[in-house]
A = this chain, B = another copy of it.
Amino acid sequence: MQAPELAVSRWFNTPSPITLADLRGRVVLLHAFQMLCPGCVAHGTPQAQRAHALFHHAGLSVIGLHTVFEHHAAMTPVSLEAFIHEYRLTFPIGVDQASADGPIPLTMARYEMRGTPTAILIGRDGRVRHHGFGQEDDMALGAVIGTLLAEPATS
């Protein structure tokens, strides 16, 4: 599946908005999370930060996506900004754009995510190559990243 474009209402940790189109040729790890999701805070988000530290220079772009689908009033951008500061997150993080039609934000719906955390890996060719919900094993995720980084950039 070709990876759908992101719909982001606000960005943190980046001087300008990011699109997947801009990242074509790199491998992308999309880390969908909510700041009050215990499994995200304990596992998913630190794992995304580690992937950023280990593989950014090898060609991986880690993008956080704050996909709020519950407790909307509790997880506003003001709260997210303090969360990012306190947890020392350094990869770019976008707020998934709210939907007019319901609690599920737009990017979360496009990717048919089932909840948080969700880890999505997009190859250099812009196609979705891994779509995992819940706690991911570090070694297994590393292997997929290594495989995708080993692929030649397509022209």
**A residues with CB within 8 A of B:** 36-38, 41-42, 47, 50-51, 54-55, 71, 73-75, 78-79, 81-83, 85-87, 137-147, 149-151
Main secondary structure of the interface of A (DSSP, over half): helix
Q: Is the CB of A139 within 8 A of B47?
A: yes
Beyond A75-B82, A139-B54, A141-B139, is A38–B150 a contact (Cβ under 8 Å)? Answer: no
Q: How far is the CA of A87 from the CA of B98 in the complex (A)?
A: 24
Q: How far is the CA of A150 from the CA of B73 in the complex (A)?
A: 45
Report chain B residues within 8 Å CB of A87.
Answer: 38
Q: How far is the CA of A73 from the CA of B81 in the complex (A)?
A: 11
Q: Which of A36, A50, A78, A143 has the most C-beta atoms of chain B within 10 angstroms of its own C-beta?
A: A143
Q: How far is the CA of A138 from the CA of B68 in the complex (A)?
A: 30
A37-B86, A54-B140, A138-B142 given; 19 more Cβ-contact pairs under 8 Å? A36-B79, A36-B82, A36-B83, A41-B41, A42-B42, A47-B139, A54-B143, A55-B143, A71-B86, A74-B79, A74-B83, A138-B138, A139-B141, A139-B142, A142-B142, A143-B145, A143-B146, A146-B146, A146-B150
Q: How far is the CA of A68 from the CA of B147 in the complex (A)?
A: 34
Q: How far is the CA of A142 from the CA of B51 in the complex (A)?
A: 11
Closest 9 CB pairs of A and B: A142-B142, A146-B146, A143-B146, A74-B82, A139-B142, A138-B138, A71-B82, A146-B147, A142-B143
